[in-house]
Structure 1
Amino acid sequence: MAVLAKRSMALCLLFAIALDLCFFYTSAELERFDHPAKSDGSLSFLVVGDWGRRGAFNQSQVASQMGRIGEKLDIDFVVSTGDNFYDNGLTSEQDTNFEESFTKIYTAKSLQKQWGNAEAQLSPLLRKIDSRWLCLRSFIVNSELVDILFVDTTPFVKAYFTKTEGHTYDWRGIHPRKEYIANLLKDVESSLKESTAKWKIVVGHHAIRSIGHHGNTKELTKQLLPILQANNVNFYMNGHDHCLEHISDADSPIQFLTSGAGSKAWKGDFKDANSEVVKFFYDGQGFMSVQLTKIDAKIAFYDVSGKILHIWRTMKQLHQSV
């Protein structure tokens, strides 16, 4: 039996539309999926990461509040920022962790969207277990309103190829690593340059800017960030650090948004930071919502009880914190 990625940092997308394909992704080329905005021109979604613990560490409670907020906002899909199944991903297509950490946890009506996998757990057999699962490494969801680029950030981190800390990584389709990264960066840059969407969002598992446990990812800061800055990206969203945070970029309008608090959080594990760029940090469980229109974006962070912790609004040419 084929072994799937034992260490999972996958990104996911839940669509409100039915997609009947699950791809084994073996190159850096970006697959595209259209997702139109609502009839009023708006679009909304939730963002959660680092969640798969069979309901433990408040995963079930976070899922319950996601369902409530998802219904209230009439969400179009949900984005997962990775680390879907702890501690070491899925061992096979029959691993019960898939159902115990996903199917049986995110049961609310508003969350019955299609899940897509952007980095690992690539087997199409998983879709037979739960039809929400869409499997890819890097891909784009695009509409006139927003382009969302999901970027496979794990191969950027050099340490994963030298210091695995007891984890086994699935690098099928990645080698040669430098060529894979170069092609991916080229595709990201060209996609952003060609985009005519009102909003541009990039999603990765690893943080570019974070004051959490892992902190900044130096490889992304060096290789990916300049491309985002040069192409008017509005938001970079990630998980990896088990917290919620909002950090502004000192050199561009980019907002760095971490939503990696879907289950186990790391209390008190953070670094000192420049208070001028750190707008919000929370070291407990929770998730994030995003609401977009042609002229306005609203970001909100929620704790495990669904309480709003932080709201940030922006308009084209006008940025305002709340």
Structure 2
Amino acid sequence: MTIRHISRRGAIQFLGAAGLAAMTPLEALLAQTSAQGGMTFLGIGDWGRGGRNHQSDVAHQMARVADRLNPRFILSVGDNFYENGVTSITDPAWQHSFERVYDAPSLQGPWRVTLGNHDYHGNVQAQIDYSAHSKRWHLPSHWYDFSERAPDGTTAQFFVLDTSPMIERYYEDGARAVKVGDQRAKVPVQLAWLDRGLAASTADWKIVIGHHPVYTGKAEGGYRAKASAEHRHGGNPELIDMIDPLIRKHGVALYLNGHDHDLQHVIHGDTHYVCTGAGSLTDTHCYIGDSDFCSLQSGFVTCNLNRHRLSVTYVDYRGRHLHVVDIPPVHSSVV
């Protein structure tokens, strides 16, 4: 499979300096992260396939990076188990797709988990309950937040959403496939929680995580069929209506998602929308739209934040660094 990159805006910095180019990919990432200081975390989504479709290869590269960078935690942005989630806390998929794939010592730290639509094909409560049976699996509820402090004193607050109940097309069959029916009435509660939490946050960085993209190169029609040329610019209309106004109002610098099986970057306003949905099987086409970058390589992202910037590095299953994005802090518009 060939790499599909798209890069347009001068604000996006690719690892191209002569000194870094002479290094191996891992050495380059270490040099960059060491110079930045701050706190590191990893992001991966759409992964649980029993090690197949480069899932094990991605896990190996994650372990190499984590062994050297010691990330504070790993963010899973959903679709944790294909095709149909898990049935219980003893489902064999826990071993085949999680425990025995991400088994390196460097990957035993906290996994902060998001729910995806394929997780709703199965028993969502079992994924929540597994938190009590695992030292590293953290999914306390359908949506939640947590805060971290970097070594330089920088603070970050992360808001993990449950976006599947917000997607209207999942109700078209009575919510029998993606079983979100009992969550529909809770969507306004979740949105009110997000609004209050973002408004009250005093963190230097506010980061929102959801399985589904708000903005993406893929048009809404592209979720059912290949997007036409006239509808290249896309996203989820429901999330654009529900989530994006809160993101803009409260100064969220980064929205991290999966669902689209690629690695992608989109900027709207002051917010950067980073897709890391390439944890195993990837799509066959990069829906470019107004993306700055899109790759079909299986992989993950490494994020490092300090007081001055949040740097996102896209890494593929061979350990190659495909792209780097430097994100400046954003200030809330609420006065």
TM-score range, shorter chain: 0.7 to 0.9
TM-score normalized by the length of structure 2:
0.75
Q: Per the alignment, in what secondary structure is the counterpart of residue 143 of structure 1?
A: strand
Deviations 1:240-290 (A, max 9, x none): 0000001111xx2100000000000012x233423xxx2210012010011
Q: Counterparts of 1:1-322 in structure 2 under 5 Å?
A: 42-119=38-115, 121-123=124-126, 126-127=130-131, 130-135=134-139, 136-143=141-148, 145-163=155-173, 167-169=177-179, 171-172=181-182, 174=183, 177=184, 179-212=185-218, 214=223, 215-249=234-268, 252-267=269-284, 269-274=285-290, 278-316=291-329
1 CA distance for matches of 2:68 and 2:168? 42
Counterpart CA distance in 1 for 2:330 and 2:186 is 36
Partners of 2:159 and 2:214 lie apart in 1 by 15
Instruction: For 1:101, give the aligned amino acid.
Output: S
Gapped regions of structure 1 (runs ≥ 5):
1-39
Query: Contact conserved, 1:118 with 1:139, CA < 8 A, in 2?
Result: no
Offset at residue 141 of structure 1 (A): 1.1
How big is the shift at 1:96? 0.2
8 A Cα contact 1:81 1:204, kept in partner: yes
CA distance in 1 between counterparts of 2:132 and 2:199 reads 37
CA drift at 1:302: 0.6
Q: How many residues matched?
A: 269
Question: Structure 2: how far apart are the matches of 1:304 and 1:59?
Answer: 8
Residues 56-104 of structure 1: per-residue CA shift (max 9 Å, x gap) = 0000000000011112222000000100000110122221011110000
Q: Does the 8 Å CA contact 2:40/2:72 hold for their aligned counterparts?
A: yes
Question: Which amino acid letter does the alignment assign opposite residue 199 of structure 2?
Answer: K
TM-score, normalised to structure 1's length? 0.78
Q: C-alpha displacement at 1:127, in angstroms? A: 4.3
Secondary structure at the aligned position of 1:142 is classed as: strand
Q: Which residue of 2 aligns with 1:3?
A: none
Question: Partner amino acid for 1:255?
Answer: H
For residues 41 and 141 of structure 1, do their structure 2 counterparts lie closer, same or farther at Cα, with a shift above 3 Å needed?
farther
Q: Secondary structure at the match of 2:157?
A: strand
Q: Which amino acid aligns with 1:224?
A: I
CA distance in 1: counterparts of 2:104 and 2:288, whole angstroms? 38
CA positional deviation for 1:125: 5.4
Unaligned residue ranges in structure 2 (runs of 5+)? 1-35, 150-154, 224-233
The sequence identity of aligned pairs, in percent, is 30
Seen in structure 2, the aligned counterparts of structure 1 residues 279 and 89 have a Cα distance that, compared at 3 Å, is same
Structure in which a larger fraction of residues adopt strand: 1
Question: How many Å separate the matches in 2 of 1:217 and 1:44?
Answer: 29
CA contact 2:61–2:319 (8 Å) conserved in 1? yes
